[in-house]
Amino acid sequence: MQQAVLPTGCHLGKKLLILDVDVGVDDALALMMALAAPNVHILAITCTHGNTGIDNVCKNVLRMLKLCNRMEIPVYRGAGTSLLGVVHHASEYHGKDGLGDVPDPDAPGVEHIKSEHAANAMARIVNEHPGQVRCADIWERNSVVTRIEACFRTHPTFPSKLKSLYIMGGNMEARGNVRVCGEFNFVTDPEAASIVLSHFTCPVYIATLEYCLRHRLPWDIYEKWVNQDTAKARFMKKISAHTADYSQEGEGSKALLFGSGFVSCDSYAMSAAIDDSVVTERAQYGVSVELHGSLTRGMMFVDTLDILKLQHKATDFLECDMEMYKQQLNNALK
């Protein structure tokens, strides 16, 4: 069995991260942020379907690692459906391939993917470094929780051995982006989200939909950001063009959702995983997921009055230091 052997001194003083991804455009940015952070050591990247199909996700991760000259990081393939076998993708937002439909003929092939299943790899690595590994489920859709739930189901001690878990997903104000009251990440696999929020004993940090939408990157700043004279900036401009066009076109529900700025949801959770001081206001509540409502299935409910006396509390992000966040974005494209 493969061992997560760390070269002597390579991780001293650094945060140990496992990144669980379903690489679309915002996942790509979040990956670049983590890869550029000097205080982070990435032990593994695990893949699942979500923004696009599982095959595309694996290819997209390898493409990002090649761009950032980090092909030494092991990548593992995971699930292609939710717990109930439902598949939801987001080609309208991320493009059919997840990265804006601007393929690279020289991208690495899937032969670089490790043979070990992602859930087993996550559990193994955490067992090798108990209490030290942060799991950043910063990536959208089913990857947010399905992989983590699979680890819990097959390795019951996994949650207690994690140092912390960062999630992008859910909502605090019954505000939906795909259903009346449901945020897409939790809507696509409510059962897995419920299990994770109810049973994980490690600290859980959540960047909700509302948190992300409140901290949009103004379009003028976005334009300056992607027009820097670097290879990474040119790449980000190319893959995000489809998403930017989708976010700015038309009126009605899309205008209300995206407003006057670029929203890269996964990057907000990654920002906190890198340096949690970027979150300037937060709150701890018992949270879980509605599984049965016809309009509210997949909605994250927040027990602000502690009526349910839920044992495990999650930390919900409320306010962000935008100057610090922008600096992290700039560092990612250097």
Instruction: Using alpha carbons only, give the angle 260, 141, 309 rounded to the nearest 5 degrees.
Output: 95
Give the pLDDT band of residue 71 (cuts 50, 70, 90): very high
With residue 249 as reference, give the H or E element that holds it: none
Mean pLDDT of 303-315: 94
Structure-model confidence comparison of residues 234 and 79, the more confident one: 234
pLDDT of residue 1 exceeding 50, the answer is no
Contact 88, 58 (CB under 8 A): no
Architecture of domain 15-332: Alpha-Beta Complex (3.90)
Q: How confident is the model at residue 254 (pLDDT cuts 50, 70, 90)?
A: low
207: left (phi over 0), alpha (psi -120 to 50) or beta: beta
**Greater model confidence, 94 or 328:** 328
In the block, residue with structure tokens 């049965």: 292
196 with 288: CB under 8 angstroms? no
Averaged pLDDT of the chain: 85
Domain boundaries, the chain: 15-332
Does the pLDDT at position 144 exceed 50? no
What are residue 35's DSSP bridge partners? none
Closest C-alpha among 16, 17, 19, 162 to residue 78: 19
Task: Answer for the pair 218, 323: CB distance below 8 angstroms, yes or no.
Answer: no
User: Quick check: pTM over 0.85?
Assistant: yes
Residue (of 291, 290, 292, 282) closest to 313 by Cα position: 282
Mean pLDDT is lowest, of 69-78, 87-96, 180-189, for: 87-96
> How many Å apart are CA 130 and CA 251, to the nearest integer?
49
Q: Are 48 and 147 in contact (CB under 8 A)?
A: yes
Q: For the chain, how big is the Rg over CA atoms in Å?
A: 18
The pLDDT confidence band at residue 141, using thresholds 50, 70 and 90, is very low
Predicted local distance difference test score (pLDDT) of residue 114: 96
What the block records as the tokens of 143 is 């990857």
